Amino acid sequence: MAAHLARVDLHNEAVNAVVTLASDTALAEAEAADRTLARGDDVGPLHGLPVAHKDLFVTAGLRTTFGSRVFADHVPTETSLIVERERRAGAITLGKTNTPEFGAGSQTFNEVFGATRNPYDLTKTCGGSSGGSAVALATGMVPIADGSDLGGSLRNPASFCNVVGLRPTPGRVPSWPDAAPWFPFGVAGPMARTVGDVALLLDAVAGPDSRAPLSVGIPAVPCLDALSRDFRDVRVAWSPDLGGLPVEPDVTAVLERQRGTFESLGCLVDDGCPDFSGADMVFTTWRAWVYDLLYGETLDRHPGMLKDTVVWNIEAGRRLSGRDLADAERARAALHDRVRRFMTEYEFLLLPVTQVLPFDIDQPYVTDINGEALPTYLDWMKSCYQISVTCLPAVSIPCGHTDEGLPVGLQIVGRPYDERGVLQLAHAFEQATEFWKRRPDLPSPP
């Protein structure tokens, strides 16, 4: 614990990843964990490991701001279920990690703590919304961290920071407290520097809980001890642009260099992807609906306190009609059927995590790709959010770096409820390439 706190002292000022530090309690709990080991007591799988929690997860007695000025001094009385399970498995809370306000947008900045910087280039964003968690991992401040993902928030910052982020099947990792407990697109999940560490954390936090209705009937499926697998003759689909999305050439170039790696593993690699028609409408409609549900009352009570993109999403939700929701569900049903048939033919879909490289820290969001204008703050995240609405498990795995040293992630999407298979293929790729070993070269403070 002292070693990890020393890493926070060394690098956090430069990157701004950990925004609330619990050093005193962390050290006290680490000493208690040492005594437990000395007695020879049985311990959990995460015993003594420092963990950082995304500042969207409530932690009783420890400040939780949601990245919002409205909650700048908020100290909850409840603890999120994922945090409960991490602690029950023996992990020790080191602190809370930065997130954009209410997790809105894949660029981690807010008016409470400022921006979190990419450790591979301090002038660039780390992505988001689990950006603080990704940076804390990349800089060695913690060995494991948690995050959440609606439109890419576990996968996007993992790609930008050369770590691993898993978006599980909805319900695999139960969420509580949750004002929209049947909403399937927002999930909680693990992040780490390696696939093995992600599997370790997933095993500790997965499994049903009666407080989370989507989790009921979805048992935990152990992954850590089942990562090795022979991939000969496994059919995978390779899609550099998910059927026509704009993707920066530097991203495509890094990914294309690794297609042969999957062939060397024995995979049968074909070009192809499902028809994602209607996915944009499904995502943007239900995202707007849930933003009004979750944050509409906060906007009404605190006008002028929320950032413009959050207000825009809430107001979009308030304009929705019953016909809008019906159209979105009709499109979602058709998308589900097309994706189901495609994933019967292919076991995995491989595609970019992000359509762009890490961009300027002062740019709130991407406004064009390859000269194609993007009208909203969500449009540059389609390679992630179109996967979200399929409810399939997906992982971001380090796939290499540009000539300038910026990380690029590969997204591996699996069949329904097959987190184990997704992690197995990610593990095989990781072992073959070892891109995770390239750590950021941060300057030492004066």
Q: Are strands 235-238 and 187-192 parallel, antiparallel or unpaired?
A: unpaired
CA end-to-end span of the chain, whole Å? 24
Q: Which residues are catalytic?
A: 54, 129, 153
- Percent above pLDDT 70 for the chain: 100
| CA separation for the pair 398, 361 (Å, rounded) | 21
Inter-residue contact 388 to 353 (CB < 8 Å): no
| pLDDT confidence band for 444 (50 / 70 / 90) | confident
Rounded to whole angstroms, the Cα distance separating 77 from 384 reads 33
Average of per-residue pLDDT across 79-102: 98
Q: Give the type of residue at 122.
A: L
Q: Tell me the β-bridge partners of 351.
A: 411
- CA quadruple 327, 332, 335, 336: dihedral positive or negative? negative
d(CA 17, CA 141): 9
Q: What is the pLDDT of residue 234?
A: 98
pLDDT band of 57, cuts 50, 70, 90 = very high
Predicted pLDDT of residue 283: 98
Which element (helix H / strand E) includes 121? strand 121-125
pLDDT of 445 strictly over 90: no
pLDDT band at 446 (very low <50, low <70, confident <90, very high): low
pLDDT tens figures, 327-384 = 999 999 999 999 999 999 999 999 999 999 999 999 999 999 999 999 999 999 999 9
Bridge-based pairing state of the strands 144-149 and 164-167:
unpaired
For 375-400, what is the mean pLDDT?
98
Instruction: Please state, in angstroms and rounded to a whole number, the distance separating the CA atoms of residues 389 and 336.
Output: 9
Mean pLDDT of 45-55: 98
Q: Is 16 exposed, middle or buried (0-12, 13-18, 19+ CB in 10 A)?
A: buried
Asked whether the predicted pLDDT for residue 18 surpasses 80, the reply is: yes
Residue 414: closest CA among 436, 391, 394? 394
Band (443; pLDDT cuts 50, 70, 90): confident
Cα 225 to Cα 228: distance, rounded to the nearest angstrom: 8
For 13, phi then psi, to 5°, come to -60, -35
Q: How confident is the model at residue 247 (pLDDT cuts 50, 70, 90)?
A: very high
Question: Domains of the chain, with CATH numbers?
Answer: 2-437 (3.90.1300.10)
| pTM, entire model | 0.98
Mean pLDDT of the chain: 98
